[in-house]
Chains A and B, each alone.
Chain A
Amino acid sequence: MIFDFELIADSIPKMLMGIGLTFQLLFLSAILGLILAVLLLLMRISGKWYLSWPAQVHIYIFRGTPILVQIFIIYYGLPQFEFIRDSIFWPILREPFGCAILALTLNTGAYVSEILRGGVLGVDRGVLEAGAALGLSVRQKFIYLTVPIAARLSLPAYSNDFISLMKATSLASTITLVDMTGIARTIVSQTFAPYEIFISLAIIYMILTWVFQKTFGRIEKYLSRYVKPEGLA
């Protein structure tokens, strides 16, 4: 097995042209997904069944099915209905980009909401009791006590989910989007050199993973700056 290094040097710039799309998919769906996750979380902890049930059903469905099936249902499936083609959302749902964002957002929202819930449940009761003793209202306790602590607690799991989301963006190539994976698949179908192309792309993704892990590590360190390091406590 001889590696064709010329081909690698040739294709890496071509594949990197797709990194913009990968980033767009990643950051847009990460931000929208986080908003959705917070909404779902608030619905779940609201204590009202008509809010908490829909949130739980959403989480159950989107965590229980493969993201690829969700992408296909949204991109290929929804146009089956007349009323969707006539609706105001059609300009978004007609485009593969809009469908990919929608699918990734709905999916990551379900996962992140569970992560955030874990963080909220992890907040020490003593802190909330102290807040109550200080006469804070429910809303104040949530904003000033629960949110900062829950954010810190859920960050490690969130960083893992962010990386899963980055890996999931590569599935956009299955609905004709030309992100990095899409470009790589085109090159492979032309040159039939899967080792060279796919391994170099894998290394690009690994570098991205590493960068994101380091960045989240920094944020984690910053958020825990006042937490006593273990062993000294």
Chain B
Amino acid sequence: MEAVTGWWDDYFWGSVIVLQVFVCSLILMVLFGLIGAAAKLSNNRFAQKLAAGYTVAFRGTPEILVILLLYFGSAITLTAIAQVFDPEVKFVDLSPFWSGTLAIGLIVGSYATETFRGAFLGVKPGSIEAARALGMSNFQTFVYVRIPEMWRLALPSFGNHMLSLIKDTALISIIGLNETLFVAKQAIGTTGKPFTMYIVVGCVYLGFSTVITLTVMWLEKYGNKHMESAR
């Protein structure tokens, strides 16, 4: 393990990047998931088709392919656009951080679409009728009745989606994001200790997933505390 000594700070900053990607892609994932679910549950035929296409495409394609496509594709498109304004420009790209974050946000968002859709459908009709009887507006019903009931139903799957997100950040190292796996590659270059270096990466991710799992367990307990006596 002494080979790792000089690398702890690099691993630390790599973990910070993992965390940054996780937080940004989590926000995107919730956003895409809610939009997708809203489109699937809407009466608009076109929106339904679009959302169906979105989930089929991103659930049927390997994650690494989406990441590569977004990174290299954005480079070509952005360079082409930039050259229209300034022919001198040679190369513009979306940074690995943002193309990777967007990619995993889109992928896991497609899974979240199904989760949120199922959870909204799982809200009991009785609760909504009760809200109507109390004279709540559509918006009030959504905020005070649908959301509180829906997030408890969505939580177990949502926890799994968060685990997918944190694990998918490792794939972004392929396009050159300097997260922990990338740090390990550099460290191996100088120390020649691949096993030790990759095990550290494994431990970092194991730590992150453990924290997420425990948080979700706590949230589930917290979310269902009013149901305890009924069980």
Contact = CB atoms under 8 A, between A and B. Distances in A.
- A and B pair up: yes
Interface in B154-182: 163, 167-171, 173-174, 181
B209 A64 contact: yes
Contacts of B22: none
Contact of A202 (B69, B77, B168, B169): B69
Contacts, number: 122
A68 B65 contact: no
B61 A205 contact: yes
B62 interface: yes
A188 interface: yes
B60 A206 contact: yes
A60 to B, nearest CB: 8
Interface in B74-125: 76-77, 80
Contacts of B57: 202, 206
Contacts of A167: 61-63
Contacts of B60: 163, 202, 205-206, 208-210
Nearest to B168: A66
A198 B73 contact: yes
Given A69-B202, A194-B76, A77 B194 contact: yes
B209 A65 contact: yes
Contacts of B205: 64-66, 69
Contacts of B171: 66, 68, 171
A181 to B, nearest CB: 6
Contacts of A216: none
Interface residues of B, number: 42
A185 B202 contact: no
Interface in A177-210: 181, 184-185, 188, 192, 194-195, 198-199, 201-202, 205-206, 208-210
B201 A199 contact: no
Interface in A23-75: 60-61, 63-70, 72-73
A198 B69 contact: yes
A133 interface: no
Contacts of A169: 62
6 contacts: A66-B169, A68-B171, A73-B195, A77-B194, A77-B199, A168-B62
Interface of A: 1, 60-61, 63-70, 72-73, 76-81, 163, 166-171, 173-174, 181, 184-185, 188, 192, 194-195, 198-199, 201-202, 205-206, 208-210
Closest 4 CB pairs of A and B: A77-B195, A194-B72, A209-B60, A66-B170
Given A67-B167, A68-B174, 7 more contacts: A63-B209, A65-B209, A73-B202, A80-B195, A194-B69, A198-B65, A202-B65
Interface of B: 56-57, 59-66, 68-69, 72-73, 76-77, 80, 163, 167-171, 173-174, 181, 184, 188, 193-199, 201-202, 205-206, 209-210, 213
